[in-house]
Amino acid sequence: MNILRTLATAGICLALAVPAWAQKERTIRFGHLNNTDHPVSFGVKRFAEILSAKSDGKMKVQEFPSNQLGNEQQQQSALQGGVQQMYAPATTSLAGIVKEFGLVDFPFAVSSFEQADALLDGPLGQTLISKLPEKGLVALGYWDLGFRNVTNSRHPITKPEDLAGLKIRVIPNPVFLETFQSFKANPVPLPFAELYGALESKAVDGQENPFAVILSNKFYEVQKYVSATNHVYAANIVLVSKKFWDQLTPQEQQWMHEAADEARAYQRQVSREAASTAVQELKKRGAEFNEISAQEVSRMREIVKPVVDKFASQYDPAIVKLYNDELQRIRGQQ
């Protein structure tokens, strides 16, 4: 019996200290909505390189860009069901299962990348992440998507009144819907995969996305006007299926966390460089670009304030207080 007990104890110790070469080989299906020239794709590739190096090639990432594994909701469901291992959607798509993610979408909340990073990497972002495991998801952090801007085929947007009557495709998210309704636009929720066709057929007049997304998806082919509304800072969130996560060893989970952390800085840098050059590229391809005066931005912020107040009253008061406290702290640092 003592021999058996000794062998069992030795087996447990070995299991807890499995070297990388002895790890089980795993293939991770990592889906996203963007094309391979988009910063999200560059982030996936860097994550894959780092994870492969940490695991001595045992953990392989297979990228599925451009909606290959389905639209936003299909991929989210696939993660929750354990069919797909990873996904990097905009945080907006999570408001349907954790409504407080809507806080990230509040219009005109942050005015710089530094403020956005401080908000998401700090207590507020981590509190939101802590709500996901009970929904079948594990998050490894936030990547940059950028400030969202309006394009349309009708006229430039230089003031809030210019949005009135326009059919604008938005993410199926209540904060986005009511934000554009407050400007008297007609927001139309559509999956991203259907957007180009809807713009081309004039089923919708316009849409709103970061500059890099507008360029990468060639919306300039069917949208003449690009207006720098900068109305919402958008982030992607790196998600893992909890069913898959729970199958990983502590060492594998640590590698995943480290790879995501290391890839984050690179992805953000690439994304922000892409945003700074995308406007010039859009102009070269025939888009008419305009900025909005600070005075008109202030008017827009006032118009949407009732929307912010309404949704804030529907969320967990403790998380709303944390959000407001963090914004005050972050703004005070600049």
Q: Which residues contact 37 (CB under 8 A, 6 or more apart)?
A: 216
**Residue 47 in contact with residue 240, Cβ under 8 Å?**
no
* SS3 label, residue 86: strand
Structural domains in the chain, sorted by start: 26-332 (3.40.190.170)
Over pLDDT 90: what percentage of the chain?
A: 84
pLDDT band at 173 (very low <50, low <70, confident <90, very high): confident
Q: Encode pLDDT of 262-287 as tens digits.
A: 999 999 999 999 898 999 999 999 99
The pLDDT of residue 97 is 94
pLDDT-derived band at 8, boundaries 50, 70, 90: very low
Strands 137-152 and 225-241: antiparallel
CB atoms closer than 10 angstroms to residue 197: 12
Mean pLDDT of the chain: 92
Tens of pLDDT along 185-232? 999 999 888 999 999 999 999 999 999 889 989 999 999 999 999 999
Q: Count Cβ atoms below 10 Å from residue 296 Cβ, excluding itself.
A: 17
DSSP class of 99: G
pLDDT digits 0-9 by tens, 222-263: 999 999 999 999 999 999 999 999 999 999 999 999 999 999
| Distance, CA of 60 to CA of 328 (rounded, Å) | 42
* pLDDT category of residue 103 using cuts at 50, 70 and 90: very high
Q: Given this model, what pLDDT does residue 172 score?
A: 79
Q: What is the pTM of this model?
A: 0.84
Distance CA 112, CA 233 (A): 9
Q: What is the mean pLDDT of residues 154-179?
A: 94
Kindly state the helix (H) or strand (E) to which residue 8 belongs, with its residue range.
helix 2-16
- Please state, in angstroms and rounded to a whole number, the distance separating the CA atoms of residues 246 and 47: 20
